[in-house]
Amino acid sequence: MSALRAAGASRPGMVQSLRAAVSRRSFHNVGAMRMAAAKSFHKDEPAAPILKTSVPGPKAAEAVKELDQVFETRSINMMADYTQSVGNYIADPDGNMLLDVYAQIASIPVGYNNPELRKVAQTPEMVDAIINRPALGNFPSHTWANILKTGILKVAPKGLDNVYTAMAGSDANEIAYKAAFMYKRQTERGGPDVDFTPQEIESAMNNQAPGSAQLSILSFKTSFHGRLFGCLSTTRSKPIHKLDIPAFDWPQATFPQLKYPLDQHAEENAKAEQASLDEVEHLIKTWHLPPAAVVIEPIQSEGGDNHASPAFFQKLRALTRKHNVLLIVDEVQTGVGATGKFWAHEHWNLQDPPDMVTFSKKAQTAGYYYRSKELRPNKPYRQFNTWMGDPSKALLFRGIIGEIERLDLVNHTAKVGNYLYGKLEGLASKYPEHFQNLRGKGQGTFIAFDHPKRDEFLVKAKTFGINIGGSGANAVRLRPMLTFQEHHADILIEALEKIVKAL
Amino acid sequence: MSALRAAGASRPGMVQSLRAAVSRRSFHNVGAMRMAAAKSFHKDEPAAPILKTSVPGPKAAEAVKELDQVFETRSINMMADYTQSVGNYIADPDGNMLLDVYAQIASIPVGYNNPELRKVAQTPEMVDAIINRPALGNFPSHTWANILKTGILKVAPKGLDNVYTAMAGSDANEIAYKAAFMYKRQTERGGPDVDFTPQEIESAMNNQAPGSAQLSILSFKTSFHGRLFGCLSTTRSKPIHKLDIPAFDWPQATFPQLKYPLDQHAEENAKAEQASLDEVEHLIKTWHLPPAAVVIEPIQSEGGDNHASPAFFQKLRALTRKHNVLLIVDEVQTGVGATGKFWAHEHWNLQDPPDMVTFSKKAQTAGYYYRSKELRPNKPYRQFNTWMGDPSKALLFRGIIGEIERLDLVNHTAKVGNYLYGKLEGLASKYPEHFQNLRGKGQGTFIAFDHPKRDEFLVKAKTFGINIGGSGANAVRLRPMLTFQEHHADILIEALEKIVKAL
């Protein structure tokens, strides 16, 4: 392997053939790979993962050491070389190329170095947006409405035709929470035309009631909604996220703890869901800081890939409606196609849409969609900050939407997900101890399973050319890109079997 | 004017000569302008503001109406056309070009459509950063250390050689606060090697003590540190920012309320500063949620351009050191050259640097510099989120730093600021009722004055071709770009006199 590596380093023209040679020498079926590569969405993808060194190799280790002088490195999973990454494959500085089914924590939608996005990044409009960044609330561009309508709003969830833009999932959730608090207080006050009292104005400046609302956001155990102070108070996934950070005394309900496969435990799962709903209603009625909104992920992602049924979400919508509590659906991780629908909450067939839906990650921009102007705060400058989002990222999302449409990637992902899930069911029946609680059937490639030695599993995966992530305490979560195809699934399945055999 | 407008709209080739014609017909000294334009940093800048319609004109009004269907518009100050904006001039869709001394709420550093930034935006490195956005904590690029060292860290404040990157000023402050809480609790716990107790781990998941820290951040009255839940609890500038949003019960000290000009009120100002310091010490000793950090702006910006002396800040540093409370300097608005130093806190000549300095706005990226690895949380994933910043913005900041160095813009701004301040002193002695409490002497172009009809003043300014902003209750704040020159100052001064005569 070292001779190959040396040759690869000194003769770049050899890289492609070396890739084939290396994978031939390693562990993949080259004939099948060649055929597969021919039909890939990404024509420059390697036919299979390429391992030239261990991961991290010497160059990666050197780069980590250099970075550690000035930047946090203890959470580094893999030092990457994005100039060499392509499609579903992430490269590193040592020339390794791993099939990436983690995709920057589920945030790369259409492949590394996507040629269509490269074009978008080079348009005059993008260059303009980068070098002339506006304060969108004060000085929007005359093209901003068009950018929104042809991009972010083109894919707006049904029933939600307005948007506030933001920078990332965390602040998207926080500004949605702020909207909920302002709406709730406005309702309590008697409507949008009723002014603040002098007492409210004075006490708000002292962080005290009545100006500072004595309200809460209700979230669910094992949920993840970000790590700023407000959203972190709703995040309940892991102690390491929350320890030592001051928090609001907000309520949490139990997320239904379902048994998988779902169709084999229908009755007890329905009971768990009803118990959760009862708890939500109890908390809404009794919590000392009444909830202005309930926030929920369609599939709890960071918290361990926890699912609930459409019936559960339908009832939750009805419950929040009944008690005049807003429903915020956090689609930061589930949104933009990975579940086989553009928005995961489309799986629920709600007649009464959520009040707000937050988004980020694969959208590369962020924000919240909302139901109507009624949910805009009653005065200007209440929902405001300097940048309020970023037109350059909105343009990027528009390009991503273009790729999704051009390649029909949502339907594609639904199909590939079914294919992958079927193969995983095969592995689970062959190795039940290694593929526990397989879940995500019918949810595109948004699939997970539990493994008793999860952290070892993730490390071992790299030795078979796979970059894969975890969630919750024991879950291996699959978060491939939307350009993940059946031949990638075959490579993944083959590698998964090797991983568990090696554990 | 309408004939000119029609001609300008139908014959783009005429625009430049029309600009001259319009300004000749309006109110500026064309001879001086021509000379001035010749020596401008931005060769394509108009010689003077151009007014073809009222602001907003018909096209701008139409664009606002369209945008209002889907996006917040009530806070719009001016609908802009960035494709036509250049240097210090902001254009609108009606062909108006205003001298912009507000600069996207102080966040445009080196002019609209800066040709050098345009080059940076078109580099392969930038395109790569846009289309392959990494999760920096998990999968940084092997080039990230170099990007940091040649950019963000090249201008690191003295004594602070580490950085956590972020997205905007608000989250930069919040993650600095998080670092302070983790550091304080770690110290209380007995050091970085002492583990969390089971009680801490369990209670943190319930948002309760001891896992959720019963600590605070001490800030100052009339301060502004952002509008997310944590930083908003430290923001004390205006009720509209805070009303109806839940807040932490954190302490606020009085910011010294100085009398201007500073040198004529030295004695009473020194007393006000000492009273403020005494209050800080009292709050540190007695507040029921002990402060983990004090956060302060070098000049309170949004809160009204409130200054304090270097002696005050030196004593504040000593005080925080004495009580083992961290000092966070919020340079989100003051940083990157506008005060005639790269960082405003350089004016203080601190021997013992701040523990953390936060930055954003003109940097276009964001984050906090910190003193040493000692301030990194003791475990990975404590200071973490998906993106942790954005390499594309770090590259942009590197380009901005390049422009600042090439044109020596910090020293330039110090000089132009002195020139401008001198002219304003002239206006203030001529119209004392219109230019009250002039302040910012020796602070570059970071200058403000109070006006009894401030809001009218800002509106009227547009009719004389000036885009200018306010701060606090009565202040007009000047926030020109770093490429603002003496000839721009002349235009501004001439316009300011016309504005106050028209009020």
User: DSSP states of B321-335 as a string?
Assistant: HHTT-EEEEE-TTTT
Please indicate, yes or no, whether residues A92 and A139 belong to a single structural domain of this protein.
no
User: Does the beta-carbon distance from A67 to B144 stay under 8 Å?
Assistant: yes
Q: Complex ipTM, two decimals?
A: 0.93
A170 touches chain B (CB under 8 A): yes
Do the domain assignments include residue A398?
Answer: yes
B110: closest chain A residue by CA: A131
- Residue in A335, A404, A358 with CA at minimum distance from that of residue A171: A358
The minimum CA-CA distance between A429 and chain B, rounded to whole Å, is 33
Do the domain assignments include residue B207?
Answer: yes
Please indicate, yes or no, whether residues A187 and A255 belong to a single structural domain of this protein.
yes
Backbone angles phi and psi of B63, in degrees to 5: -65, -40
User: Does the beta-carbon distance from B168 to A85 stay under 8 Å?
Assistant: no
Do the domain assignments include residue A27?
Answer: no
Do the domain assignments include residue A326?
Answer: yes
Last residue of a domain, one of A380, A404, A428: A404
Please indicate, yes or no, whether residues A152 and A90 belong to a single structural domain of this protein.
no
CB B45 within 8 A of CB B115: no
Strands A291-296 and B436-439 turn out to be unpaired
Q: Which residues of B are catalytic?
A: 224, 330, 361, 386
The minimum CA-CA distance between B482 and chain A, rounded to whole Å, is 15
Query: DSSP letter string over A142-167?
Result: TTHHHHHHHTGGGGPPTT--EEEEES
| Closest Cβ–Cβ partner in A127, A186, A213 for B118 | A127
CATH number at residue A417: 3.90.1150.10
Distance between CA A388 and CA A165 in Å, rounded? 6
A residues 368..407 contacting B (CB < 8 A): 376, 379-388, 392, 396
Please indicate, yes or no, whether residues A145 and A79 belong to a single structural domain of this protein.
no
pLDDT at B189: 96
Do the domain assignments include residue A121?
Answer: yes
Helix, strand or coil, per DSSP, at residue B460: helix
The minimum CA-CA distance between B185 and chain A, rounded to whole Å, is 6
Last residue of a domain, one of A404, A423, A450: A404
Do the domain assignments include residue B21?
Answer: no
A66: closest chain B residue by CA: B145
Please indicate, yes or no, whether residues A80 and A151 belong to a single structural domain of this protein.
no
Please indicate, yes or no, whether residues A342 and A198 belong to a single structural domain of this protein.
yes
Q: Give every CB contact of residue A114 below 8 A, 6+ residues apart in sequence.
A: A42, A87, A403, B131
User: Does the beta-carbon distance from B142 to A80 stay under 8 Å?
Assistant: yes
**Domain total in chain B:** 2
A254: how many CB neighbours lie within 10 A of its CB?
A: 14
User: Does the beta-carbon distance from A380 to B74 stay under 8 Å?
Assistant: yes
Helix, strand or coil, per DSSP, at residue A245: coil
B459 touches chain A (CB under 8 A): no
pLDDT at B60: 98
| Closest Cβ–Cβ partner in A113, A204, A361 for B243 | A204
Identify each DSSP E strand in B187-325 by its residue range: 216-220, 252-253, 291-296
Q: Which of B53, B139, B223, B302 should we substitute to test contact with A (largest number of A Cβ atoms within 10 Å)?
A: B139
Total count of residues recorded for chain A: 503
Residues of chain A with pLDDT under 70: 1-38
Helix, strand or coil, per DSSP, at residue B283: helix
Helix, strand or coil, per DSSP, at residue B165: strand
Please indicate, yes or no, whether residues A106 and A125 belong to a single structural domain of this protein.
no
Full domain range(s) for residue B465 = 56-112+408-499
Last residue of a domain, one of A404, A435, A454: A404
The minimum CA-CA distance between A133 and chain B, rounded to whole Å, is 8
Output the tens digit of pLDDT for each of chain B's 503 residues. 333 333 333 333 333 333 433 443 344 555 555 555 557 899 999 999 999 999 999 999 999 999 999 999 999 999 999 999 999 999 999 999 999 999 999 999 999 999 999 999 999 999 999 999 999 999 999 999 999 999 999 999 999 999 999 999 999 999 999 999 999 999 999 999 999 999 999 999 999 999 999 999 999 999 999 999 999 999 999 999 999 999 999 999 999 999 998 889 999 999 999 999 999 999 999 999 999 999 999 999 999 999 999 999 999 999 999 999 999 999 999 999 999 999 999 999 999 999 999 999 999 999 999 988 889 999 999 999 999 999 999 999 999 999 999 999 999 999 999 999 999 999 999 999 999 999 999 999 999 999 999 999 999 999 999 999 999 999 999 999 999 999 999 999 999 999 999 99
CATH number at residue A301: 3.40.640.10
B310 touches chain A (CB under 8 A): no
Do the domain assignments include residue A63?
Answer: yes
User: Does the beta-carbon distance from A131 to B140 stay under 8 Å?
Assistant: no
Could you read off the pLDDT of A458-498 as tens digits, one per residue?
999 999 999 999 999 999 999 999 999 999 999 999 999 99
A85: how many CB neighbours lie within 10 A of its CB?
A: 25
User: Does the beta-carbon distance from B139 to A236 stay under 8 Å?
Assistant: no
Please indicate, yes or no, whether residues B206 and B301 belong to a single structural domain of this protein.
yes
Please indicate, yes or no, whether residues B90 and B228 belong to a single structural domain of this protein.
no
B residues 51..80 contacting A (CB < 8 A): 59-60, 63, 66-67, 69-80
A138 touches chain B (CB under 8 A): yes
Please indicate, yes or no, whether residues B263 and B394 belong to a single structural domain of this protein.
yes
Please indicate, yes or no, whether residues A488 and A368 belong to a single structural domain of this protein.
no
User: Does the beta-carbon distance from B361 to A216 stay under 8 Å?
Assistant: no
Q: Which of A173, A199, A207 should we substitute to test contact with B (largest number of B Cβ atoms within 10 Å)?
A: A207
Q: Which of B68, B75, B154, B188 should we substitute to test contact with A (largest number of A Cβ atoms within 10 Å)?
A: B75
pLDDT at B13: 34
Q: Which of B92, B244, B254, B382 should we substitute to test contact with A (largest number of A Cβ atoms within 10 Å)?
A: B244
Residue B298 preceded by cis peptide, ω within 30: no
User: Does the beta-carbon distance from A171 to B167 stay under 8 Å?
Assistant: yes
Tokens linked to A91: 């490269």
Distance between CA B126 and CA B364 in Å, rounded? 14
A361: closest chain B residue by CA: B386
User: Does the beta-carbon distance from A245 to B387 stay under 8 Å?
Assistant: no
Counted across chains A and B, CB pairs separated by less than 8 A come out at 382
Please indicate, yes or no, whether residues A444 and A381 belong to a single structural domain of this protein.
no
User: Does the beta-carbon distance from B387 to A174 stay under 8 Å?
Assistant: no
Do the domain assignments include residue B40?
Answer: no
A266 touches chain B (CB under 8 A): no
